[in-house]
Structure 1
C-alpha cells in the first residue's frame, strides 16, 4: 500500500504544476493582448495628455489694442529687434532695443487736428510720441497707442508727477520712456525714473549716455556746418526722436503732425492760425517758431527732409511734404 500512496501523491503534484503554468500563461496573454476598445481608450488618454502639455507650454497671443500691459522681453536676441546705442535702461543698464516694422512718428502740431488719422496711426507696429502730447480726448486724430515716448529733461510733468499717478502711463500704457538731456542731469533724472518704473512695472525707462549726446551734437554740426554751442542752438526733442525712429524702424516711417520748414514763410502759413501744440489752447505755431531765438525749427526740418530723401521710406502726413520741391542742399538759420 505504501507504493500506492506515493503514486497518488505524485499524480496530485503533477496536476498542481499543470494548473499553475496554465494560469500563468493566461495572465501573460491578458497583459500583452488588448481588445480594440482598450487600445482605442489608451490612445485617447495619450492624446489628451499631449494636448494638456501643449496648452501649458503655448505662448499666449498679444492683442496690440488691449489695455493690458504687454509682457516685456528681457532679451533682444531675436533678429527682429534693433538695438539703438546710447540709450540705457535705468535699472538693468541694457541698451534700448525695439521690434518695429512700420512706424508712426506723431508730432505735436495742431496740423493733426481734424485729420481722423487715429486708426491709421494705431495700425503701425510702433507709435512714437514726444514730451507731453496727450492722447485722451484726441484719439480720433492722434490714436490711442504709444510704444515709445521721448521726453526732454524738463518734462517732469510726464515722469515725475509728484507722488500722483502719471496720466501718461495710466491711460496709454507706454512700453518705453526715453528722457534726453545733458550728462549732468542724469544723476537727477535717474532716481525719478527708477521710482516711476516701480509704479508701472511694465514700463522701461531710459536715459542717454554722454557719448550719445556728443554724437548728436556732432551730427548737427555735420548737417548744418555750424557748431551748436557757438551758434547758440538748442536741439529739439524732435531731433532725438528722429534719431531713435530711423534706427529702430525696419520698414516705412510715417510722420504725422509736423509742418515742413518753409511752412511759416508761405502764404498759407501767414494767414492760417495753427496751434503750436494740438492739445493746448492758444499759442500760434508760426509765432512761436519765429519768436524763438535758440531752437532752429526750420533748419531741423530741412535736415529731416534730407534724411527722408536719403532713406526713401519716410513720408509726411497732416500736413504732407512735397520732398521733390524742398531744397535740402543748404540749411539756413
Structure 2
C-alpha cells in the first residue's frame, strides 16, 4: 500500500513538473511573439497613427466650421477645440496650406522683412548680441527657451515661438506673459489623437493666455517634413529611429515668412570636426547646459535606439540655406564647404553597412 502511494505521488509530481514546463515554454514563446509584434508595431506606429488621425477628421472637427470668422478659437460644448485637421490638401505652390490657425483658417497671417532665428545653443553666452537680435523685425525662439536673465546675449523680443509637443508642459507665466511674451506661437506634433496630453495642455494655455495668437503645423506638413528628411539623407526617418527637431520645423517656417534670415548660434555639420576642443554647451538653460554641444551632437548622431540627428540636420539646413537668403552669426559660416551629397556620420554609417 505504501509503495503504491509513493508511485502515485511520483506520478503526480511528474505531471506537475510537466505542466510547469509547458507553462514556461508557453511564456517564453509568448514573449518572443510579443517582441516580434511590438517591433512591427513600432515600425508601423506612426503611419497607423496618421491613418487614424485622418480617418477621424470629421469626428474631431464636426462643430468647428461654424462662427469662426474672427475668432482665434472655437468653443464646442464649453470646451475649446483646435481645428487642426482640414480637408484641403497641401499645395507646394502655396505654402500657406502648410499651416492652420486655431480658428481653422489656413496659413500664417504675418510676414517679416528680417528674422532673427535663435536655436537654444549656448554659443551666444557672453557675446552681448541681444541688441543686434532685437533689431530684427521678428525674433523666432524655440520651445520654452527663457528670456529673463539672458537679455544681454539673447535679446528680449519674442515675435514667434515654435514649440514641440514635448515642450508644452513648460509653457508658464515667465515666458507667456509680460514683456517677454510671444506675439505668436506655432506648434508641431500637437494633436488630440496623436498626443492627447500635449493637446490638453495647449488648450489650457490658449484659454489662460488669450493675448497670444496660436498656429499649428498641419499633420500633413509633419509628414512632408519626414519625406524631406528622407529625400535629403537617403534614409528612412522611422526606419532609422530618427526624431526631427523643432529647429528644422522653425527653419521651414522661417523660409516661408522671412525675406532675410539672420541665424544666431548655429554650427554647421563640419564644425565639430574642425574644432575638436570646442566646449560650447548644448543649451544655455535647463538640464542640457552641462553638456557640450559637440559631444551631445556626436552621441545623438550615432545612437541606434532613437535620437535627433543634429549633425545631419545641420547639413540639410545648410543645403536649404544655400537656396535662401540666410546669414549665419556666432559662428559665421563663411568658408563653409557646402556639398550637395550629405556625408555625415549618420548617413555614411548606413552606406558602409550596405
Give the Cα separation in 1 of the matches to 2:157 and 2:96. 21
- The residue number in structure 1 matching 2:314 is 301
Matched, 1:111 2:101: no
- Aligned-partner SS, 1:103: strand
Alignment partner for residue 138 of structure 1, among 126, 131, 150? 150
Matched, 1:185 2:194: yes
Name the count of aligned residue pairs.
246
Q: Is the 8 A contact 1:111 1:259 kept in 2?
A: no
Q: Is the 8 A contact 1:90 1:193 kept in 2?
A: no
- The residue number in structure 1 matching 2:183 is 175
For residues 235-268 of structure 1, the C-alpha deviation after alignment (integer angstroms, 9 at most, x for no partner) is 111111111000111x2111001111122222x2
- Aligned-partner SS, 2:117: strand
- The residue number in structure 1 matching 2:221 is 212
- The residue number in structure 2 matching 1:317 is 329
1:324 deviates by 4.7
- Aligned-partner SS, 1:274: coil
Q: Is the 8 A contact 2:122 2:281 kept in 1?
A: yes
Give the Cα separation in 1 of the matches to 2:141 and 2:222. 20
Q: 1:205 to 1:199 in 2, by over 3 A?
A: same
Give the Cα separation in 2 of the matches to 1:74 and 1:147. 21
- The residue number in structure 1 matching 2:246 is 237
Q: 1:235 to 1:141 in 2, by over 3 A?
A: same
Alignment partner for residue 286 of structure 1, among 290, 294, 300? 294
For residues 18-46 of structure 1, the C-alpha deviation after alignment (integer angstroms, 9 at most, x for no partner) is xxxxxxxxxxxxxxxxxxxxxxxxxxxxx
Give the Cα separation in 1 of the matches to 2:194 and 2:293. 29
- Aligned-partner SS, 1:185: coil
Which stretch shows the higher mean deviation, 240-249 or 150-159? Answer: 150-159
For residues 1-29 of structure 1, the C-alpha deviation after alignment (integer angstroms, 9 at most, x for no partner) is xxxxxxxxxxxxxxxxxxxxxxxxxxxxx
1:187 deviates by 4.3
- The residue number in structure 2 matching 1:252 is 260
- The residue number in structure 2 matching 1:126 is 138
Q: Is the 8 A contact 1:158 1:168 kept in 2?
A: no
1:216 deviates by 0.9
- Aligned-partner SS, 1:154: helix
Q: Is the 8 A contact 1:85 1:96 kept in 2?
A: no
- Aligned-partner SS, 2:152: helix
- The residue number in structure 2 matching 1:101 is 113
Q: 1:92 to 1:167 in 2, by over 3 A?
A: farther
Instruction: Determine which structure has more spread, i.e. the larger CA radius of gyration.
Output: 1
CA RMSD of aligned residues (A): 2.3
Give the Cα separation in 2 of the matches to 1:238 and 1:158. 17
Q: 1:157 to 1:322 in 2, by over 3 A?
A: same
1:156 deviates by 2.7
1:121 deviates by 0.9
Unaligned runs of 5+ in 1: 1-72, 76-81
- Aligned-partner SS, 2:166: coil
